[in-house]
Chain A
């Protein structure tokens, strides 16, 4: 099932991440003001128990997206097809709008760092990643979506900007982009670049989904913690992002210090209001 741009615009789709903290609430009060839920792929890969039953329960009323953290697409050893097979088996029955993971590496097969790690942006890694994306898309037989990550350093081996790399990767490989606006803001402050230039460079039609989240100011750097409400500066950037990609559904992420569902839902309502302001008000 693919999401047509007009449908998304008409329905102003804004979703939230599905988290175990909210399972009981959603079982008792399945009617919410959000339009879809995003499941963390790894939370459901090894489970046919309650987490899976909740997913089936939610899918009766809402579309789903699946968002992974373990594809490890940028690691030099290559794609783990056992993992990808499990992902395919998991997501297929749910007909998700989007299947995504991160444009990063996460560790070696024998020692997984469980972190989203950057790599140098240059022609060598671009060629390598185009090949890997091709393998993933061929295996899944659908367009795959990759998220820009938050990173706390760059490499001297980079000779392209992150945004030019993403643009080239999407144009050459046909993958789409999950544009995490919070990550763009965090990186723009930490790595001192213009976030608007980043947004303007990404091809509109390459954007499949938008993520919003909160960061933590650590003093020395901004840390992408997903533990706070979305910051005003990120909402401002979001206005530009949703104007640029009206077809892309928006997702509020909150992974740490997770609040009550209603607080999360209020962030989604805020995003909906911005979509209305940007697209429907003179």
Chain B
């Protein structure tokens, strides 16, 4: 039997429900293990390793579900989605879709937030637009503000960030105290650490329009109810946190 056949048989034994007879014939187990318990040890290790990676990558979901339900979930996920990446930090990118019909309706969005946080955490901040260029800006209504791509704009009917903040904590009491109302926030990395701004609905809509490439004037035209103070507050935050990377 050649290397290719042996490796395929071993792989199938770990990934599938039954152990391949061919690989069993080729194995000399160590210790007091027999062939089945040896293969089972590798199979268990595979599931444990990938479950642990999902626990690291989606800690908030683990916190919400608790050990039993979380590991039931990870076992199903691992069976449907084998890892195809060398980096376990990338494992679980299909989890938001996998959770789309979960009885807790915010879990899928929470999984997206975890993925976005990791993306921001692992990125190097980009340079912001020259402050002099900003100061020299005349009428801003025709300007397109290029907002850093190291960001994530979230708008949910659930208090996602408040839930996410409780990850890894024994948080039952704190969880009960969460005010269940819609939430908008903008998560970003402009200094090497991930930070967050909470936004009103109008600020969220304005920022969304700017990110999509609209000029400030065009964006404001569609936001009749927005107050000047909301616009000023949003722009102050964008400037002081170096979130504008270019002007066009």
Report which A residues bind B (CB closer than 8 A): 42-43, 45-53, 70, 72, 74-76, 80, 83, 105, 107-115, 117, 119-120, 124-125, 128, 151-157, 187, 189-191, 218-222
Chain B: minimal CB distance from A121 (Å): 12
Q: How many B residues have CB within 8 A of the partner chain?
A: 47
* Bound complex: CA A70 to CA B29 (Å): 24
Main secondary structure of the interface of A (DSSP, over half): mixed
Interchain nearest-CB distance for B4 vs A (Å): 4
CA A38 to CA B8, docked complex, whole Å = 33
A74 to B7, CA, bound (A): 10
B149 within 8 A of partner (CB): no
19 contacts between A and B (CB under 8 A): A48-B124, A49-B121, A50-B122, A76-B3, A76-B7, A107-B11, A111-B84, A112-B83, A113-B11, A113-B42, A113-B46, A117-B10, A152-B31, A152-B38, A152-B41, A155-B28, A157-B6, A220-B31, A220-B37
- Interface, chain B (partner A; CB < 8 A): 1-4, 6-8, 10-11, 14-15, 25-33, 35, 37-38, 41-42, 45-46, 49-50, 53, 82-90, 120-124, 189, 192-193
A114 to B6 Cα, complex, angstroms: 17
Name the CB-closest residue of A to B125: A49
Residue picked from A46, A75, A117, most chain B C-beta under 10 Å: A46
Q: Are A42 and B38 in contact (CB under 8 A)?
A: no
B200: shortest Cβ distance to chain A, in Å?
A: 29
Residues of A within 8 A of B15 (CB): 111
| Pair A42/B88 contact, Cβ less than 8 Å | yes
B26/A222 in contact, CB under 8 A: no
- Enumerate the 5 nearest inter-chain pairs by beta-carbon distance, A residue then B residue, closest first: A221-B31, A190-B30, A48-B124, A70-B86, A111-B82
B85 touches A112 (CB 8 A): yes
Assuming the contacts A53-B192, A115-B46, asked whether A105 and B121 have C-beta atoms less than 8 A apart, the reply is: no
> Measured between alpha carbons, how far is A114 from B53 in the docked complex, in Å?
11
Point out the residues of chain B lying under 8 angstroms from A189, CB to CB. 31
Q: Are A46 and B30 in contact (CB under 8 A)?
A: no
Least distance between B193 CB and chain A CB atoms (Å) = 7
Smallest CB–CB gap between A72 and chain B, Å?
8
Considering the chains assembled together, what is the distance between the CA atoms of A50 and B28 in angstroms?
Answer: 44
B33 engages A221 (CB within 8 Å): yes
How far, in angstroms, from A1 to B90 measured CA to CA in the complex?
32
Question: Within 8 Å CB of A112, what residues of B?
Answer: 82-86
B32 touches A124 (CB 8 A): no
Q: How many angstroms from the CA of A105 to the CA of B15 in the assembled complex?
A: 16
Q: Name the B residues within 8 Å of A105 (CB-CB).
A: 7
Given the complex, which residues of B lie within 8 Å of A83, measured CB to CB?
Answer: 86
Partner of A155, one of B26, B49, B89: B26
CB of B11 within 8 A of CB of A190, answer no
List the A side residues contacting B89 at CB < 8 Å.
42-43, 46
| B121 cross-chain contacts in A, Cβ below 8 A | 47, 49-50
For B25, the chain A residues whose CB sits under 8 A away are: 156
Given contacts A46-B89, A111-B82, A157-B26, contact A75 B7 (CB under 8 A): yes
Contact in complex: A187, B45 (CB < 8 Å): no
Q: Which residues of A contact B35 (CB under 8 A)?
A: 153
Q: For residue A75, which residues in chain B have a CB less than 8 angstroms away from its CB? A: 7
Please determine whether B83 and A111 come into contact, CB atoms closer than 8 angstroms: yes
